[in-house]
Amino acid sequence: MTTNSRRLLGLLVFGALAGGWLYAAHALWQTSVPSNLKLPHVDMSSLVSASQLHRAQHFSLILDLFSLAGLLLPLVVLALYAKWGHRFIGESAAGPIGTGMLLAMLGLAILWMATLPSNIAELWWLRRYGIEKIGYTEWVIGTWYGLGAEFLGICLTILIVMGFARLLKDRWWLAGAPVFVGIALLVTFVQPYMSGLAPMNDHYALVQAEKRLAKEEGVGNIPLKVENVGTQTTAPNAEAMGLGPSRRIALWDTMLDGRFSEPQLEFVVAHELAHHKHKDLWKGLGWYALFAFPIAYLIARVTKRRGGMAVPLAVPLFLFVWVAFPMVTLPIDNAFSRRLEAAADWEALQATRDPNGGKELFVSFVRTTNENPNPPAWDSILFGNHPTEAQRIAMIEAWQQRNGG
Amino acid sequence: MNEHPITLHVMDDLRRSRLTVFFRGLLVLPHFIWLYLWAIVVYIVALLNWLVALVIGRPAKPFQRFIAAWLRYATTVFAYVFLIANPFPGFTGEPGSYPIELEVPTTPEKQNRLKTFFRVLLVYPALIVGAVLMYATYFVTMLAWWVALITGRMPRGFRDLGANAIRYLMQIYAYLLLVTGTYPCSSPYVGISLGAPVVEGAPAKKASAKK
């Protein structure tokens, strides 16, 4: 085969892969929200008091600054570590993979230390507004244990990446990316069993409503559970978890403390059921898989200048790309997530046919979370994985207009 | 008389990295998991080895080598977590890879069948002594952690106490797992070789002479 024909074949393969990638991305991007839906303007000051709005705007602005620090600090720290991290090679008597694990763990350890002050300041801010209840010592100890879990995770990652790199050289990413997707699949499946979910014993009416809504949405039997977080936070939340037989809906116990009415809770449950109906967890995995291959390929290319992922010298650079790349794709990941959430809201409206319950819920969210219902665009792009409360209320009003409400 | 078939060679230079000392308890986590997984297989192998030793009067050579590698590895992990050595250990228990190294016979010796049969009971007195020694080591390590964090060095006395505790613990394991028929020796002068400090960055080598 001549050089030209090899190049042509390479281009054809690349074109086919790129086409497949775009097709998959397009398929995942589809939503059940009508494409011609026009969202009306919502005047939040008619729904929430001026003082509450001001409080939410002030709270969110400072929180956004902490979130920005949380984005930028790791980039700076890991960029410096990528440059000088190899100096710690001398602290290891292990082989290449063991040394790679040590370098990766030390990178995360340094990152933990560097971000500790801003994270404590963020906790102070959340405590000041009554969102977090956890004490500083308890929080630091918790993050210490969390760091231990991160160490184990990064060691497994290094074992996979360096193990394949030693076997397959620069083509490790072809085997590595599917393994990471497999791990993500496993984690999504087992998450409900690892989250310490409790049965919902004290809310018979809500359990019955969930069964009715599940039937309405055609998702079969999905257990409704409670996640006990009330000793640590006052923030309300709910999650759709699991795949197939492990599917669950988990309501944080902070949603069941009397601040939310029965119709509001039913709207939340309908929204989470919609995630299962739309197979959003599968879509999330598909989205992750779409990016797993390019990121693994990029890492393989970038680390080549340090000798490739078979040698520990490349690990600090690997860590930087591993953390930086998801930050680059954050805006598009958030946009994808917002589309899934908007579709779940739409489905919840169709199932409950209770726009008032939904509207009251989102107003209650502003009161209980202090989040700005109408944040600036950059905030939504960088941090908004759900539509803003104003957008969610606007969608309800649009639904009402369509359905003669 | 200061010889024991299970001997610990200490070639550590007392220098400690403050960063790895601070995070030592977390950095050792992957080793704990690997040690635990390996130990499950070791205990199955040890049970088979016990049956073999009862029948033929000595352990099987492949089993002996397998358990010896685990003992060497466990020594490096304990040395790392108790701040007795500075570098992050490897995962294979390869000889000559760490400044704290356990010398373990890889060729099985003849062992008394009666003592082999009652090995689990015979080891109890040593276990009690070993437990006391390990508690002392936990306490000393907590002090040593602060000292190493502040000064970047491990006090020799603390290091030697920890090394002796590990040496005794490994002699107990070796006796229990039939690697040797020699009973653990609680004397701090038996089965330990405090060699010259290794040169910084150079690969560890065995000490040339025993005390």
* A109–B23 C-beta distance less than 8 A: yes
Residue B149 and residue B143 in contact, taking contact as beta carbons nearer than 8 Å: no
What integer pLDDT is reported at residue A359 of this predicted model? Answer: 94
> For residues A83 and A104, what is the distance between their CA atoms, to the nearest angstrom?
13
ipTM over 0.90: no
> What does the mean pLDDT of chain A come to?
94
Confidence category of residue A214, pLDDT binned at 50, 70, 90: very high
As given in the structure block, the two tokens for residue B78 are 């304990």
> Is B99 an 8 Å CB contact of chain A?
yes
What integer pLDDT is reported at residue A405 of this predicted model? Answer: 60
User: Cα angle at A342 between A389 and A48, to 5 degrees?
Assistant: 15
Mean pLDDT across A137-164: 96
What integer pLDDT is reported at residue B147 of this predicted model? Answer: 96
pLDDT digits 0-9 by tens, B123-133: 999 999 999 99
Residue numbers in A near B17 (CB within 8 A): 88, 91
> Is B93 an 8 Å CB contact of chain A?
no
Closest alpha carbon within chain A to B98: A93
**What is the nearest CA distance from A188 to chain B, expressed in angstroms?**
23
* B91–A98 C-beta distance less than 8 A: yes
What integer pLDDT is reported at residue B100 of this predicted model? Answer: 94
Closest alpha carbon within chain B to A152: B30
Q: Nearest CB to B90: which of A95, A109, A155?
A: A95
Q: Nearest CB to A102: which of B27, B33, B97?
A: B27
What integer pLDDT is reported at residue B186 of this predicted model? Answer: 86
Q: Is A56 exposed, middle or buried (0-12, 13-18, 19+ CB in 10 A)?
A: buried
Q: Nearest CB to A93: which of B26, B87, B200?
A: B87
* B29–A148 C-beta distance less than 8 A: yes
pLDDT digits 0-9 by tens, A54-69: 999 999 999 999 999 9
What integer pLDDT is reported at residue B32 of this predicted model? Answer: 97
As given in the structure block, the two tokens for residue A46 are 């008619």
Mean pLDDT across A37-66: 92
Residue B81 and residue B166 in contact, taking contact as beta carbons nearer than 8 Å: no
Residue numbers in B near A97 (CB within 8 A): 91
What integer pLDDT is reported at residue A35 of this predicted model? Answer: 87
Residue numbers in A near B76 (CB within 8 A): 93
User: What percent of chain A stands above pLDDT 90?
Assistant: 89
* A109–B26 C-beta distance less than 8 A: yes
pLDDT digits 0-9 by tens, B40-91: 999 999 999 999 999 999 999 999 999 999 999 999 999 999 999 999 999 9
Phi, psi of A66 (to 5 degrees): -65, -40
> For residues A245 and A226, what is the distance between their CA atoms, to the nearest angstrom?
18
Could you tell me how many residues make up chain A? 405
Mean pLDDT across B201-209: 40
* B17–A91 C-beta distance less than 8 A: yes
As given in the structure block, the two tokens for residue B82 are 């108790």
Parallel, antiparallel, or unpaired: how do β-strands A198-199 and A224-227 relate? antiparallel
Burial A372-383 (b: 16+ CB within 10 A, else e): bbbbeeebbeeb
CA-only gyration radius of chain A, Å = 23
- Which of A300, A299, A297, A251 minimizes the C-alpha distance to A272? A251
Residue numbers in A near B89 (CB within 8 A): 93-94, 98
What integer pLDDT is reported at residue B2 of this predicted model? Answer: 61
Phi, psi of B191 (to 5 degrees): 80, 25
Residue numbers in B near A110 (CB within 8 A): 19
Residue numbers in B near A106 (CB within 8 A): 19-20, 23, 27
Q: Has residue B4 got a pLDDT over 80?
A: yes
Q: C-alpha dihedral over A388, A295, A66, A107, to 10 degrees?
A: 160
Q: Nearest CB to A106: which of B19, B30, B92?
A: B19
* A90–B201 C-beta distance less than 8 A: yes
> For residues B104 and B108, what is the distance between their CA atoms, to the nearest angstrom?
10
> For residues A370 and A131, what is the distance between their CA atoms, to the nearest angstrom?
8
* B90–A94 C-beta distance less than 8 A: yes
Residue A133 and residue A228 in contact, taking contact as beta carbons nearer than 8 Å: no
Mean pLDDT across A31-50: 91
Sign, CA torsion A253/A255/A259/A260: negative
A332's CB contacts (< 8 A; 6+ apart) are none
Mean pLDDT across A227-241: 95
Strand partners, B9: B101, B193
Q: Nearest CB to A98: which of B26, B86, B90?
A: B90
What integer pLDDT is reported at residue B196 of this predicted model? Answer: 53
Confidence category of residue A1, pLDDT binned at 50, 70, 90: low
CB-defined contacts A:B, below 8 A? 65
Q: Has residue B208 got a pLDDT over 50?
A: no
What integer pLDDT is reported at residue B198 of this predicted model? Answer: 41
**What is the nearest CA distance from B186 to chain A, expressed in angstroms?**
29
Mean pLDDT across B162-190: 93
pLDDT digits 0-9 by tens, A165-195: 999 999 999 999 999 999 999 999 999 999 9
Position A206, amino acid:
L
Residue numbers in B near A88 (CB within 8 A): 17, 19
Closest alpha carbon within chain B to A94: B90
pLDDT digits 0-9 by tens, A248-264: 999 999 999 999 999 99
Per-residue 3-state assignment (H helix, E strand, C coil) for chain B = CCCCCCEEEECCCCECCHHHHHCHHHHCHHHHHHHHHHHHHHHHHHHHHHHHHHHHCCCCHHHHHHHHHHHHHHHHHHHHHCCCCCCECCCCCCCCCCCEEEECCCCCCCCCHHHHHCHHHHCHHHHHHHHHHHHHHHHHHHHHHHHHHHHCECCHHHHHHHHHHHHHHHHHHHHHCCCCCCCCCCCCCCCEEECCCCCCCCCCCCCCCCC
Task: Indicate the pTM of the whole model.
Answer: 0.90
pLDDT digits 0-9 by tens, A98-139: 999 999 999 999 999 999 999 999 999 999 999 999 999 999
